[in-house]
Structure 1
Amino acid sequence: MTAETTTPSTPLSPTSRSTLGRNATRAGADRADLHAVLDEGRVCHLGLVRDGAPVVLPTSYARDGETLYLHGSSGARYLRADDLPCCVTVTHLDGIVHARATMHFSMNYRSAVVHGVARRVTDPHERWHALRSIVEHLAPGAWDHARRPDRRELAATAVFALDLGEASVKVRTGPPSDDDADVAADRAWAGVVPVRTVLGDPEPAPDLPEHHLLPGHLGGPGHRNG
Structure 2
Amino acid sequence: MNPLSSTARTRLGRYPERSSADRSVLHEILDDGMICHLGLVVNGSPRVLPTGYGRLDDTLYIHGSTGASSLMEGPAQDICVTVTHLDGIVLARSLFHHSINYRSAVIYGTPRLLDGDDKLTGLRAITEQLAPGQWDVARRPTRKEMAGVTVLALSLDEASVKIRQGPPSDDDPDHDLDVWAGVLPVHQAFGAPDPDPLLRSGIPVPGHIARRVTS
Q: TM-score, normalised by structure 1?
A: 0.89
Task: Using the TM superposition, give the Cα deviation of residue 84 of structure 1 relative to its aligned residue in structure 2, in angstroms.
Answer: 4.0
Of 56, 59, 62, the residue aligned with 1:70 is 62
Task: Report the more deviating stretch, 211-220 or 12-21.
Answer: 211-220
Tell me what 1:103 maps to: 96
Moved more, 79-88 or 99-108: 79-88
Query: Which residue of 2 is the match for residue 223 of structure 1?
Result: none
- Paired residue for 2:189? 198
Bigger Cα displacement from structure 2, 32-41 vs 205-214: 205-214
Q: Within the alignment, does 1:177 sit opposite 2:177 as a pair?
A: no
1:151 is the counterpart of 2:128: no
Higher helix share: 2
Name whichever of 77-86 and 124-133 sits farther off. 77-86
Give the whole-Å Cα distance in 2 for the aligned partners of 1:78 and 1:203: 32
Deviations 1:18-68 (A, max 9, x none): 100111110012111111101111111101111111111111111111111
Partner of 2:76: 83
CA distance in 2, matches of 1:158, 1:51: 19
Q: After TM superposition, list the pairs within 5 Å mapping 1:16-35 onto structure 2.
A: 16-35=8-27
Give the structure 1 partner of residue 85 of structure 2.
92
Equivalent in the alignment of 1:116: 109
Which residue does 2:198 correspond to in 1? Answer: 207
- Give distance in 1, aligned partners of 2:148 and 2:78: 21
**2:99 alignment partner AA:** S
Q: Find out whether 1:137 has 2:93 as its counterpart.
A: no
- Superposition RMSD in Å: 1.3
Shift of 1:80: 2.5
3-state SS in 1 of match to 2:136 = coil
Amino acid of the residue matched to residue 71 of structure 2?
L
The 8 Å contact of residues 45 and 89 in structure 1, kept in 2 or not, is answered as yes
* Secondary structure at the counterpart of residue 153 of structure 2: strand
Of 203-212 and 65-74, deviating more is: 203-212
Specify every segment of 5 or more residues in structure 2 that has no aligned partner in the other structure, as ranges. Answer: none
Percent sequence identity is: 53
Q: Which runs of 5+ in 1 are unaligned?
A: 1-6, 221-226
Deviations 1:166-198 (A, max 9, x none): 1000000100000112112x1311000000111
Matches within 5 A, 1:40-55: 40-55=32-47
* Residue deviations 1:78-111 (CA, integer Å, cap 9, x gap): 3334434210000011100000011111000000
Residue 31 of structure 2 corresponds to 39
- Classify the secondary structure of the residue corresponding to 1:183: helix
TM-score (norm 2): 0.93
Give the alignment partner of residue 160 of structure 1, picking from 141, 152, 163: 152
Match of 1:80, SS?
A: helix
Mean CA deviation greater in 80-89 or 192-201: 80-89
Deviation at 1:216, TM superposition (A): 2.3
Q: Which residue of 2 aligns with 1:3?
A: none
Q: Secondary structure at the match of 1:148?
A: coil
After TM superposition, give the deviation of residue 77 of structure 1 in Å: 2.5
AA paired with 1:158?
A: T
8 Å contact 1:84–1:119 — kept in the other structure?
Answer: no
Paired letter, 2:182: G
Q: What SS is found at the alignment partner of 1:103?
A: helix
The alignment partner of 2:134 has SS state of coil
Between the aligned partners of 2:26 and 2:206, the Cα distance in structure 1 is: 32
